[in-house]
Structure 1
Amino acid sequence: MFIGGGYGVGLTVTDVELPLVAPPGTAWPSLGELLPVHARSPEEKALELQRVQQLKAELAAYELELVAALAADRPASADRQPGQPGAAADAGNDAVPGVGAPEGVSEFFADELALTVNCARATATTLTEYALTLTGPLRATHAELTQGRLDWPRARAMAAELGWKIRDTDPDIVAAVEAAVLPDAAGLSVRKLKERLRAELAARNAAASDRRREQAHRAVNVRRRPVGDGISELVAGMPDELAAACQATIDELAWRAKQAGDERPIGMLRSGILADLVLRPWLVTEPVAAHVEVQVPIGALTPERFLASGAPVPPAFARPGSVVEPTGAVAGTPITAAHVRDLLAQLDAIGLQAPPGGSLTFSFTDDAGALQALATLRELRAAGRRGCRDHPGSDCGCPVITRPAPTDAYQPTAAQDRFITTRDRSCRHPGCDNRAGWADADHVIPHAAGGATDCSNLCCLCRRHHRLKTFAPGWTYTMTPDGILTVTTPAGVTRTSRPPGLQLTGPRVLTRPPEQPPPAPDPADDPPPF
């Protein structure tokens, strides 16, 4: 596109095969470099911004078509059917309107889409709903989007108001509402557009509006959303009048505190009052059992302490090649009796004990952050007294605390459960944050296929992703001994999740060979180190 003799952004479509990102060590020129922004006049910049919005709309329309087509490739007929082992449970009265796979689409499609576009499953579910709505009942809206005459935020508002919320409404009524609003949609704000759609729907079908209101009431919930810097938002959905009454009460009590001399910001007072009204600290409550976990980097236990006690330097602190004979180790880093005695001396010095009615656990990690072993205070003291079973009475450098031993049984031992729950913290499927306390201990290589019941073959998966791994066709799961899980979708998209705190120490082995071998190096290139 030309603007006053210059260049503008445009979209050219051709069938090419290029990598998704620039190869390592190279960088493709940016659009700002190809189309110098500062060389444009204000009018040209404004026109170019409008063209960018048009291109974004066209790309959004193309993305919706891709999502709808991929959803068609994943039919619900491939899922476990009701009555079969592993089939999805009927939520009954607890079902939340709008949540779940659209009719005819696999229940696991949103999981695949989430890994494909690298987003949350809830976002992928919503995107699927929008795609099927705009390429289906709202084709006219999609046509405007493909031509760039309607932007994505407004097309998304059309899909949100006329999609799953009125799924049971007569299609002719939906088409009539779309026809009445679409001509003016581009000129309305998103909020005004939604209000217009609701008014048109209510005028044509009051029963549909009533059903939407009832569904919205059934879908309310309370959620915590971390926003960073040690702060979370507590989001509560409720009817308008109830929310207004709660806000008015909180506001009144906050201003009372302000007038009584509290100098804290009014927003901080509102937040504190809400917490007090919920927690009611003036009531006598049942005591809470605290469970304290102390993370112990093995490298923080210094060699000077071992030398002072006359023990040999553990291999973790020795120079490479200076250890003559191998010693027992956990992933190369043994937790010796000298380690344990040194730690116990430090604990005794500060008087650290388990809280009343609670527990105190120590998690030992290596320099990369990988969990090596767990122990309670009682287990630590026993290991310190006992020392090495094979070399009693000597500081041999053998490990006295290790990760739980494998078992021949299918069910993991209590020690294994404790280890993998501490290591994983949450469901290990990429992008899933369901906490480990609600997850299953899953064999990455199935037990029936010879997979060991060992911590290196066990990971936490929530029930949904446990079912996906077990029953959804085409998915591949692999895990390294230090717990790095790689998941590959049926279409070949690969994502990786690491245990919290584990650093990326190097490239991982592919779970499947690349489709094409890498090209041979140019003979004109200099050999390493370049």
Structure 2
Amino acid sequence: MFGCMTTATAEPPPLGLPWSPSRLDIVWVGAERPRELSSWSDEQLAARLQGVQRQRAIAAAEEAELILALAGQRPAAADPAPDHPGARRAGWTAQPGDGEVSEFCTAELATVLNVGRGTAAKRLTRALVWRDKLPATFAALKAGELDERRAAELAEKLEHAPADVAGRVEDALLGEARDVSVTGLGKRATELLLRFDAAAAEEARAEATKTADVHLYPSAVDGHAVLAVDLPAEVAAASHDLIDQLAQMLKADGDERPIGQLRTLVHTALVLHPADNGLPLVAANLTITAALEALEGGSTPGEVNGLVITAAHLRDLLARLGALGLTAPDGGSLTYAITGPDGELLATLTPAELARLAKRGCSEHPAGDCGCALTGPPPATDRYRPTERQRAFVTARDRRCRFPNCGQRVGANDIDHVIAHACGGATDCANLCCLCRSHHRLKTHARGWRFVMAPDGTLQVTTPSGVTRTTRPPGVRPPPARPPGEPPRAEAEPPPPEPADDPPPF
């Protein structure tokens, strides 16, 4: 049996969260549905879709309340003090709830929700805005009377406005919010913000300038990516106009390629080959990952700086770098990464080293038909800092920050001891991994986190709230599923506690 009813909540929810009586749509489904969805009337389908929308809004409000409760248990007072070696540098990146919420709360929230740090920061920010500046919007969301997208749009547009100004905009818009498109609602909120407090709007614009950045996103098409720059409107318009004018000149000179392609070529030339702009000349660094099978004509995809490209694209790229003779480009280097049957990295070798090993062979089996290992990971060192060979091996193995859902490329990462060197952790590839500076600081200075790494580079990260996520080096295949009835494998021993301070770079 299928049906629905509308009632009102009589008891407050658990967790001691803010609560007020509200309408609740309850939908129940019996053991069997009397009819398939295809037999429902248009009215029934529309009503059910609207019910799902209300449920999604109510769930979004509950998620925000849970996020606020977790953030309330992670105060900023627990972070390293400003004069501490591990303190966050002011002005480096904006943090949700600065001065109120721990800077490490976003990383924990990202791990709990299994999303990226940017997504977690947005959800924490909008929860804080709903609670502190848009309480009526939050109440409408809890009641299922305003959908999540419109509530989020108001939070985004009014994030930097003073609470009293945000309240005035909310009072003016909330009654009509359901009947206005999401884009129209955002535009109206911006217009009212300018009318009520132009200074606040300027402050919001200045804040947006501080948090602006350049982003690299994978494209829907293999072998392409999107480079996005957040700029003031007038700068963005002027930049686009300059690129368009130069592309139009090429078109006028007889270039038959589409104008959009010409714009991308002009932009690329301006970035990669700057002239007379006072900036130092730099060379782009590309890390190309290729499977031998792809070079021989197979279909295994490869990577360029972490962006997936097809095998055909990969072969074309390598051909342009020196044909399949694989020579290093000018000013660059070439390293072979040797992997095992399960994708685990066995060794990294230069072409000369590989040639010497192949020529020397195995001293015990000169026929060359043995299975003896001729090379492996670089040896451990007694020093704190990894050797260059270790650094090359770990960066080739990890390729990016190993924290769950972090995609920061290796060029912007630190090589970190999983078990701290000061606690007896070896400077060995089995105890080293790539972490971006933010997650390196979290591991070293945030309380209650646990990091454990297996010899093949598999990393387990456990939050203070007990959620564990596992990351494997790219290309490493997970172990086969455990057969039913087989006892679980023993977990790795936990590392000793981290010291209060970590050596440089902190």
1:204 aligns with 2:200: no
Q: Which residue identity does 2:217 align to in structure 1?
A: R
Q: Deviation string for 1:284-312 (max 9, x for gaps)?
A: x97969888676769x99xxxxxxxxxxx
Distance in 2, Cα, partners of 1:294 & 1:176? 54
**Counterpart position of 1:342:** none
1:267 aligns with 2:263: no
Q: Which residue identity does 2:89 align to in structure 1?
A: A
Shift of 1:150: 0.9
**Counterpart position of 1:344:** none
**1:412 maps to which of 373, 380, 386:** 386
1:474, 1:489 within 8 Å by CA — same for their partners in 2? yes
Q: How does 1:379-418 map to 2 (within 5 A)?
A: 379-388=353-362, 391=364, 395=368, 397-418=371-392
Could you state the TM-score of these two structures normalised by the residue count of structure 2? 0.77
Shift of 1:259: 5.7
**Counterpart position of 1:358:** 332
**2:138 maps to which of 123, 126, 142:** 142
Distance in 2, Cα, partners of 1:120 & 1:377? 37
**Counterpart position of 1:219:** 211
**Counterpart position of 1:106:** 102
Change (3 A) 1:201 1:35: farther
Q: Deviation string for 1:53-96 (max 9, x for gaps)?
A: 111111111111111111111111221111123121223xxx45
Shift of 1:202: 2.3
Q: Which residue identity does 1:444 align to in structure 2?
A: V
Distance in 1, Cα, partners of 2:187 & 2:291? 56
Q: How does 1:496-507 map to 2 (within 5 A)?
A: 496-506=470-480
**Counterpart position of 1:236:** 229
Q: Which residue identity does 1:137 align to in structure 2?
A: K
1:189 aligns with 2:163: no
**1:276 maps to which of 253, 269, 272:** 269
Distance in 1, Cα, partners of 2:366 & 2:452? 42
Q: Deviation string for 1:489-530 (max 9, x for gaps)?
A: 1111111111111112235957599xxxxxxxxxxxxxxxxx
Where do 4+ consecutive residues of structure 1 move more than 6 Å? 9-16, 29-35, 289-294
**Counterpart position of 1:72:** 72
Shift of 1:104: 1.3
1:487 aligns with 2:461: yes
Shift of 1:241: 3.0
Change (3 A) 1:197 1:494: same
Distance in 1, Cα, partners of 2:200 & 2:282? 49
**Counterpart position of 2:3:** 7
Q: Which residue identity does 1:437 align to in structure 2?
A: G
Change (3 A) 1:259 1:66: same
Q: Which residue identity does 2:40 align to in structure 1?
A: R
**1:456 maps to which of 419, 430, 443:** 430
**Counterpart position of 1:323:** none
Q: Which residue identity does 2:224 align to in structure 1?
A: I
Q: Deviation string for 1:207-253 (max 9, x for gaps)?
A: 11121222233433332222141111121222323333443444455
Q: How does 1:319-398 map to 2 (within 5 A)?
A: 351-388=325-362, 391=364, 395=368, 397-398=371-372
Q: Which residue identity does 2:205 align to in structure 1?
A: R
Distance in 1, Cα, partners of 2:30 & 2:429? 46
Distance in 2, Cα, partners of 1:270 & 1:434? 28
Instruction: Name which of structure 1's ranges 189-198 and 111-120 shifts more when overlaid on structure 2.
Output: 189-198
Q: Percent identity?
A: 42
Q: Deviation string for 1:405-453 (max 9, x for gaps)?
A: 1223322222111111111111111111222232222121222333222
Instruction: Name which of structure 1's ranges 370-379 and 110-119 shifts more when overlaid on structure 2.
Output: 370-379
**Counterpart position of 1:120:** 116
Larger radius of gyration: 1
Distance in 2, Cα, partners of 1:190 & 1:351? 55
Change (3 A) 1:133 1:230: same
Q: Which residue identity does 2:469 align to in structure 1?
A: R
Could you state the TM-score of these two structures normalised by the residue count of structure 1? 0.73
1:172 aligns with 2:172: no
2:134, 2:167 within 8 Å by CA — same for their partners in 1? yes
**1:133 maps to which of 126, 129, 141:** 129
Q: Give the number of aligned pairs.
A: 439
Runs (5+) with no aligned partner, structure 2: 15-28, 297-322, 482-487, 494-506
1:295, 1:365 within 8 Å by CA — same for their partners in 2? no
Runs (5+) with no aligned partner, structure 1: 17-28, 302-348, 514-530
Distance in 2, Cα, partners of 1:268 & 1:219? 30
**Counterpart position of 1:51:** 51
Shift of 1:477: 0.9
1:79, 1:106 within 8 Å by CA — same for their partners in 2? yes
